[in-house]
Copies of this chain bind each other. A is one copy, B any other.
Amino acid sequence: MSPGAVFDLKAYLNEKRLLVDAGLEACLPESNGLTSDLIRAMRYSLFAGGKRLRPILCMAGAEAVGGNGTDVLPVACALELIHTYSLIHDDLPVMDDDDLRRGKPTNHKVFGDPIALLAGDGLLTEAFSLMTSPEIMERVPPRTLVQAIRLIARAAGHQGMVGGQAVDIQWEGKSADQKVVRFMHTHKTGAMIAASVASGAILAGAGEARRRSILSYGEKIGLAFQISDDILDIEGDSETMGKQAGADEKKGKMTYPAVLGLDESRRIEEELVQGAIEELRAFDVRAEPLRSIAQYIIKRKK
């Protein structure tokens, strides 16, 4: 884009989303074999209308450091597979027991609990198959690829997302302080969002300093995004949320608004977004998508 031009985030998100949808379709086509139900269940949640935020962040992270977004597409798609698995397992009766996700019946409501469990397991595993596919090997040096896979695996596992989910479950209905809520959010949502944008930068060959800036940007928008979701859960209506508004409160979930109140939560969210954009001060116009995505977190509620 030319300097001074206004960046069209909506067009950017649309264009990238189509790329991701095509990539996901190619990695998990329909099947008529013995495992057709399993694959149908995996595809059901994968194509249930997700915004593809994590894959887009991965591509935007690559572009911000001068790389090509399309080159990192397999890893970008793998991030969506991991995100989708986490939603399926989160919705299971033994976890949040949700009937609706993005306005549609949840996976286990359609396919039953056992297949939903396995669909989640299958999506998580397929992510690592996709991240080691010939398509990405043609475009990224193997040593760099291994670094990116490690970053993502750590962000997804017990030191990241799964750890955050465990804390979420164990503190449900209990009175928690800001430290615990912060731990839960930075792990449950923040870690994978940070890993999404940072893996894109790593795959595009960013040096240590730029990797650090991008990772810090990601950590800040990751937490801001979760706080924003919690605020939406209180203020939003069920239609725009695709799930029941006020659901968190009913379950006694730990959220920033519940612990700190709405106003203080809004202030922290705003501060995180500004801080994230500040991390990119040394980056040129190619980081405009990342700046714009950070601002969008706040704007989407207005």
Q: Which residue of B lies closest to A113 (CB)?
A: B94
Are B122 and A124 in contact, CB atoms less than 8 angstroms apart?
no
Contact of A117 (CB < 8 Å), options: B42, B92, B145, B158: B92
* Across-interface contacts of A129 in B (CB, < 8 A): 150, 153-154, 157, 159
User: Restricting to A90-147, which residues have a CB under 8 Å from any CB of B?
Assistant: 92, 94-95, 113-115, 117-118, 120-122, 124-126, 128-129, 132-133, 137, 141-143, 145-147
Contact of A125 (CB < 8 Å), options: B34, B39, B157, B170: B157
Are B128 and A158 in contact, CB atoms less than 8 angstroms apart?
no
Are B125 and A153 in contact, CB atoms less than 8 angstroms apart?
yes
Are A125 and B156 in contact, CB atoms less than 8 angstroms apart?
yes
Are B126 and A38 in contact, CB atoms less than 8 angstroms apart?
no
Are A146 and B142 in contact, CB atoms less than 8 angstroms apart?
yes
Are B146 and A117 in contact, CB atoms less than 8 angstroms apart?
no
Are A158 and B35 in contact, CB atoms less than 8 angstroms apart?
yes
In the assembled complex, the CB of A42 is this many whole angstroms from the nearest CB of chain B, namely 7
CA A121 to CA B89, docked complex, whole Å:
9
- Taking the complex as formed, is A298 at the interface, i.e. its CB lies under 8 A from any CB of chain B? no
Contact of A128 (CB < 8 Å), options: B89, B118, B128, B180: B128
- Taking the complex as formed, is A183 at the interface, i.e. its CB lies under 8 A from any CB of chain B? yes
Main SS of chain A's interface residues? helix
* Across-interface contacts of A126 in B (CB, < 8 A): 153, 157-158
* Across-interface contacts of A117 in B (CB, < 8 A): 89, 92, 94-95, 117
- Taking the complex as formed, is A166 at the interface, i.e. its CB lies under 8 A from any CB of chain B? yes
Given A34-B167, A94-B113, A167-B34: A150 touches B121 (CB 8 Å cut-off): no
Are A38 and B158 in contact, CB atoms less than 8 angstroms apart?
yes
In the assembled complex, the CB of A249 is this many whole angstroms from the nearest CB of chain B, namely 20
- Taking the complex as formed, is A149 at the interface, i.e. its CB lies under 8 A from any CB of chain B? yes
CA A124 to CA B127, docked complex, whole Å:
12
- Taking the complex as formed, is A270 at the interface, i.e. its CB lies under 8 A from any CB of chain B? no
CA A227 to CA B167, docked complex, whole Å:
41
- Taking the complex as formed, is A162 at the interface, i.e. its CB lies under 8 A from any CB of chain B? yes
* Across-interface contacts of A147 in B (CB, < 8 A): 132
Given A113-B94, A167-B35: A162 touches B89 (CB 8 Å cut-off): no
Q: Which residues of A contact B (CB under 8 A)?
A: 34-35, 37-39, 42, 89, 92, 94-95, 113-115, 117-118, 120-122, 124-126, 128-129, 132-133, 137, 141-143, 145-147, 149-150, 153-154, 156-159, 162-163, 165-167, 169-170, 180, 183
A-B contact pairs, 11 of them (CB 8 A): A34-B183, A92-B117, A118-B169, A121-B124, A122-B163, A128-B149, A128-B153, A129-B157, A129-B159, A132-B146, A132-B150
Q: Which 6 pairs, one residue from A and one from B, show the smallest C-beta to C-beta distance?
A: A125-B157, A132-B150, A122-B158, A142-B142, A38-B166, A129-B153
